[in-house]
Structure 1
Amino acid sequence: MATESQGEDMNNHSGIPESDFVDNVDEFMQKQENENAESVLRKLDERHNKYKFMEYNLNTKKSRLKTQIPDIKTSLDIVKHLLERKTNADPLETRFLLSDQVYAKAKIPPTDKVCLWLGANVMLEYNLDDAQKLLEKNLGTAKKTLGQVDDDLSFLRDQTTTLEVNMARVYNWDVKRRQKAPVKS
C-alpha cells in the first residue's frame, strides 16, 4: 500500500504495520496506480480489520498476563516462606483448595523441594533456591511482556485512528470528485 514505506512496514511494535497520515489526498490517489476510490477504501478497510484482529489478540494476551502475574507472585511468596521455614523442625500447618469452596488441612514437614506447574500438564520438581530463581525470572518476563503489550496496544490505537482518518479523507475526496463530475443525462 502506498501509505507505508517499503522496508519500514514492520516496526518494533510486534510487527504492527505503521499507517502514514495522508496529508494530500489528490497526490495519494494519483500514486495508487489506476485504482479507484472504492478499491483504495477496500484496502484501507482490510488493514482496519487486521488492526482490530491484532487489538483483540493483544487484549487477550494482556488479560492472560494480568491473571498470570498474581499466580506467579503467590507461588514465589510460598517458595520464600518455605525457604524461611526450612530450618524450622516444626511442620507447617495450612489449608489447601481441593475444589470450589472445599479446603483440606495439611501438615507440611520442612522440605527443600517443591513442584511447579510449567504448563501443558507438566510439573517438575525443583529445589527451593532453583524454584525461587525460576519464579523470579518468570515474574520479570511476564511484567516486561505486559509492558510491551501495553506499548503495542497504544501504538495500535494510534495507527487505527490514523487509518480511520485516512479512510474518511479518501471517502470525502471521492464524494467531492463525484459532485464535480458533469452529470450525464
Structure 2
Amino acid sequence: MADILKPKNTNPRGIPEAPFIDKVENVVKNPDTDFDMIMQMFQQRLQQYKYMELSKKQQLADLNTKIPDIEKNLDVIKHITETKEEGDEELETNYELNDTLYTKATIDVEKLESVYLWLGADVMLEYPLDEAVQLLDERLEKNNEQLKIVKEDLEFLKENITTMEVNTARLYNWDVERRKKLK
C-alpha cells in the first residue's frame, strides 16, 4: 500500500509524478481498513504539490522582477558606452531617487570609466564598464535559464495537481458508491 504513491517517474528536478488510479479496487484492497489511510495519503500528496506550486510561483514572480531590472541596467551601460564612442562629453539624464521622486543629473561621460552595481544584501560594488556588462550578461543568462526551468516545473506541477484531484475525487466517489451498496 505504501507503494501507491511511490514515484515511477520524476521531472529533472526530482518532483515525483502523480500516479493515476485506473481502478480504485486495485488500490484499495480492504475498504474498511485501507480507505481512510489511502485517501489521507493522496490528500497529503496533493497538498505537497500545491505547496511546491506556490513556491515556484514566488520564484517566477522574483525572476519576472529581476530580469527586467538587469535588462534595464544593461541598456543604461550600453547607452553610456555609445555616448562615449560618439565623442559626447556630457549626458543629461533623469534618475529615480525613490519610488515617487525623480531628478536630473549631468554625467561627465568623458571621465566615466566605471559604474556601481547593487549585488543584493545591501552590497554595492564598482565595476569597469566592460566588466559590468559581462557580469550583467551572465546574470541575465542564468536568470533566463532559471525562468525556463521554473515554468517547466509549474506546468509539471499543474498536471500532477489535476491528476491528484481526479484521483481524490475517484476515491471519494468509489467510497460513496460502496457505502450505498452496503446499506
Name the SS of the counterpart of 1:96 in structure 2. Answer: strand
Letter in 2 for 1:135: L
1:41 maps to: 39
1:109 maps to: 108
Letter in 2 for 1:25: V
Cα displacement string for residues 66-91 of structure 1 (whole angstroms, at most 9, x for unaligned residues):
11111111000011112222342512
Name the SS of the counterpart of 1:23 in structure 2. Answer: coil
1:11 maps to: 11
Cα displacement string for residues 135-184 of structure 1 (whole angstroms, at most 9, x for unaligned residues):
11111111121111111111101000111111111112222222233x5x
Q: How far does residue 116 in structure 1 lie from its aligned partner after superposition?
A: 0.7
1:140 maps to: 141
Matches within 5 A, 1:56-67: 56-67=54-65
Name structure 2 gaps, 5 residues minimum: none
TM-score (norm 2): 0.88
CA distance in 1, matches of 2:164, 2:151: 20
Q: Indicate conservation of the 8 Å contact 1:86/1:112, yes or no.
A: no
Q: Alignment RMSD, CA only?
A: 2.1
- Equivalenced residue count is 179
Cα displacement string for residues 76-119 of structure 1 (whole angstroms, at most 9, x for unaligned residues):
00111122223425121112112233222211112121111111
Letter in 2 for 1:157: K
Name structure 1 gaps, 5 residues minimum: none
TM-score (norm 1): 0.87
2:73 maps to: 75
Q: Which moved more, 1:80-89 or 1:169-178?
A: 80-89
Q: How far does residue 35 in structure 1 lie from its aligned partner after superposition?
A: 4.6
CA distance in 1, matches of 2:176, 2:56: 36
Cα displacement string for residues 47-78 of structure 1 (whole angstroms, at most 9, x for unaligned residues):
11111111111111111111111111100001
Letter in 2 for 1:121: D
Q: Indicate conservation of the 8 Å contact 1:93/1:108, yes or no.
A: yes
CA distance in 1, matches of 2:54, 2:6: 26
Identity of aligned residues (%): 40
Q: Indicate conservation of the 8 Å contact 1:89/1:109, yes or no.
A: no
Letter in 1 for 2:56: L
Q: Indicate conservation of the 8 Å contact 1:2/1:28, yes or no.
A: no
Runs of 4+ in 1 over 4 A off after TM superposition: none
Matches within 5 A, 1:93-172: 93-110=92-109, 111-172=112-173
CA distance in 2, matches of 1:135, 1:118: 10
Letter in 1 for 2:135: L
CA distance in 1, matches of 2:5, 2:38: 14
1:52 maps to: 50
